[in-house]
Amino acid sequence: MTRSTAREIAMHCSFSLSFTLQTADELLEERLIPEIFDAWKDEDPIYEKYPDAPQLDYIRELVRGVGEHAPELDEYISRHAKNWKFARIPRTAAAIMRVAMYEILYMPAIPNRAAINEAVEIAKKYEDEKVVAFLNGILGSFVREECLEEAGL
């Protein structure tokens, strides 16, 4: 399994957090088991192989981080979604942006450009071209305005 696949699984879990009262840990305990991967592998090839320990840790960190920081991440999305209300943004796109923004803000070993590129590639699987471009624009604006400001650049 690649990091890209692990990231996409984290996005699926983060998306699901929008529809449940479960905590991130409860959702992860339910989802990150071999039986789920075996049941879902025919529906989506990203579930063909069960993650190894480092990949499981990566998925858990992303999902827990998104769960813990969702209001902050949503505020960033709202701030950079010019002329769009947050409720109008497709939930899949919001989940993808939350994962990317969490990586950018809280996982310094992951280059910002990699987080954005991966988010765009995942979005291409789930959204149309306009939403992909919108997502790319929000993430680019976020990095330029928020991250560079914090770095004093």
Please give the residue that has the higher pLDDT: either 85 or 48: 48
Give helix 112-126 / helix 129-142 axis angle, nearest 10°. Answer: 160
Residue 152 scores a pLDDT above 70: no
Give the CB-side neighbour count of residue 39, counting CA atoms within 13 A: 7
What domains are defined for the chain?
3-150 (1.10.940.10)
C-alpha to C-alpha distance for 141 and 49, rounded to whole angstroms: 35
pLDDT tens-digit series, residues 16-40: 998 999 999 999 999 999 999 999 9
Check if the beta carbon of residue 61 is closer than 8 Å to that of residue 107.
Answer: yes
Residue 109 scores a pLDDT above 80: yes
Contacts of 25 (CB under 8 A, 6+ apart): 64
pLDDT tens-digit series, residues 26-83: 999 999 999 999 999 999 999 999 999 999 999 999 999 999 999 999 999 999 988 7
Q: Is the dihedral of CA 74, 65, 51, 6 positive or negative?
A: positive
Residues in the chain: 153
